[in-house]
Structure 1
């Protein structure tokens, strides 16, 4: 259960004085945002996503798609129907690399938006999504990240109401698979925001980046959003959930459909659990939760060995990247140590 007044139960309570960011009075009165979409071979979804973006009551300053697909003809047809959207072809280096390209564009001089909304193409926004989330974050300068209420296509089942961080550190979408009864209809600070529909404060990007990467490209995909959310907390930022910003998320990886996901993708999810733990968990937090973490690891290993042996090479992958993860941890901890009032948050 996430604390509804603070960053949330299970959130790393490490403090870290948030850097003071100069405010532009003009932007305070009229905040702006841009939209970046990470696309890979889901052209029908992309068409719906772009249509919903075009219908926003608060129009984005610019829209850009990073495309790693392979169907040139399908993409050309979509480009013709959306002449105001910029398309960038890129090699498939995963969600993290594509998202970083979009954030570099969003914070550059050609766009200069206050916020950047990153979307998966299987997300369809309600018309006031952008307005609701921009207003929520503009009113809360301590929030670097934000998200809204994501629903499944039936619009009755919750997909994500923000992300929680349990004691075993395997992050969970709040409310996932639950019937939407209004139980998450209160705006609040949460642990994390889903990368399917995450809004980022552009003025915070330089502070959040480690070695030039806002999203860790070693993750490739899965848990890069929770890694970033955790890092934001370590550095003294917060994450806000705005339930009035609603969207539909079709979601490719659903409960009970694990084995429809290619083994290589499942391995990324498995290995990234360890990478984000190495990078972000405090020494005190690790020792405090060691019994829970060890019990969870026994369950993970048993499940992998018996039910899903194809993901066992993820242990080798995680080991190979552990050195880099520890290096990034040292950078993050040094940055946090330089923050004033890091004991109070």
Structure 2
């Protein structure tokens, strides 16, 4: 059994799959096996993915799905192996040759190996990310880990960090996870909430790991480039408007519902009044954005669905608090 399973989801990846496989073949760390899941539901794309993987000569397993399962297809791949470490990888994220080697070194140094200093020792390390830049030929940071501002606003850290450091959590773009830690914080012993489809699943996982006092690390020596599909253009209101106009309506409603699931799963008054008030502020902006850019019909339809989901969310929240 390999030490690392690389889990790859493909969707509309005709123009990226060849480059991605080339990046995987160039990895200096070799003790891994590829598990791929095609979500495209398109016969042409399926054939391209299949032939590219076959011609690569990489040890791999490919599942061609008849329906798009979104990011939760990672749960299916997770059940196909027992690798102690798993790299969750987007099909539009391209790894530099030493990416896997560097994140594995950080995982082992933090959680298992001899630290270079007492500050570096971390027996609870559950996740590691590299420093991931935006594609498109600029030096902008796509993610240096997740930053917790309040329960309603857990975001990618876009700052440059030159030293390894603990972070709140890791983005699902190119995340190395420790199986034993992840399974200990899930009722299903799976990495992601089965109901999420896509968006916020990495935030939910980060909160669950944090609640059980696991830690996550950034290893800036591990470099990757992310050709983000819906590119975040900045942090201001104008940038937010541009982002929302570029995002399909079903994705806007999905992320909105998942954010409300996170509230029911993880809200606690122990977070404090400041967290509560900031969460209310961010949720107000999020709701206004969906109402304006999604339209009243989509907004109220989403809320009808949320109301039907609340009992299940409450029950799952109780279960998560017992883990």
Structure 1 SS opposite 2:177? strand
- Aligned residue for 1:333? 321
Deviation at 1:194, TM superposition (A): 0.7
- Aligned residue for 2:61? 86
Aligned 8 A contact 2:182 2:189 in 1: no
Provide Cα deviations, 1:9-41, integer angstroms capped at 9, x if missing partner.
xxxxxxxxxxxxxxxxxx9xxx93121101122
Matched, 1:116 2:93: no
Matched, 1:240 2:217: yes
Distance 2:126 2:54 in 1: 35
Deviation at 1:168, TM superposition (A): 5.4
Provide Cα deviations, 1:108-139, integer angstroms capped at 9, x if missing partner.
xxxxx331101010000000000000010112
Distance 2:282 2:243 in 1: 22
Matched, 1:170 2:150: no
- Aligned residue for 1:227? 204
Structure 1 SS opposite 2:88? strand
Distance 1:211 1:80 in 2: 32
In structure 2, which of residues 56, 68, 80 is the aligned counterpart of residue 105 of structure 1?
A: 80
- Aligned residue for 2:71? 95
Structure 1 SS opposite 2:175? strand
In structure 2, which of residues 279, 282, 292 is the aligned counterpart of residue 296 of structure 1?
A: 282
In structure 2, which of residues 285, 298, 302 is the aligned counterpart of residue 314 of structure 1?
A: 302
Structure 1 SS opposite 2:126? strand
- Aligned residue for 1:143? 125
Over aligned residue pairs, what C-alpha RMSD do you find? Answer: 2.1
Provide Cα deviations, 1:56-78, integer angstroms capped at 9, x if missing partner.
00014211111122133323332
Aligned 8 A contact 2:78 2:190 in 1: no
Aligned 8 A contact 2:75 2:192 in 1: yes
Deviation at 1:203, TM superposition (A): 2.2
Distance 1:133 1:297 in 2: 34
Provide Cα deviations, 1:190-216, integer angstroms capped at 9, x if missing partner.
111111111111222320222343200
Distance 1:34 1:155 in 2: 30
- Aligned residue for 2:238? none
Q: Is 117-126 or 318-327 further displaced after alignment?
A: 318-327
Structure 2 SS opposite 1:66? strand
Tell me the matched-pair count. 294
* Shift in alpha-carbon separation, 1:222–1:311, aligned structure 2, 3 A: farther
Q: Is 254-263 or 64-73 further displaced after alignment?
A: 254-263
Aligned 8 A contact 1:155 1:248 in 2: no
Distance 1:81 1:147 in 2: 29
Distance 2:139 2:274 in 1: 38
Structure 1 SS opposite 2:80? helix
In structure 2, which of residues 192, 213, 222 is the aligned counterpart of residue 215 of structure 1?
A: 192
* Shift in alpha-carbon separation, 1:333–1:36, aligned structure 2, 3 A: same
Distance 2:249 2:152 in 1: 22
User: What are structure 1's unaligned runs of at least 5 residues?
Assistant: 1-26, 108-112, 336-345
Deviation at 1:235, TM superposition (A): 1.3
Distance 1:258 1:289 in 2: 25
Deviation at 1:49, TM superposition (A): 1.4
Aligned 8 A contact 1:118 1:198 in 2: yes
Distance 2:61 2:188 in 1: 27
Deviation at 1:248, TM superposition (A): 0.4
Matched, 1:45 2:16: yes
Provide Cα deviations, 1:94-113, integer angstroms capped at 9, x if missing partner.
102x1112222232xxxxx3
Distance 2:94 2:70 in 1: 21
Taking structure 1 as the reference length, the TM-score comes to 0.79
Provide Cα deviations, 1:251-285, integer angstroms capped at 9, x if missing partner.
11212343233211121111111111221232322
Q: Stretches of 4+ moved more than 3 A in 1? A: none
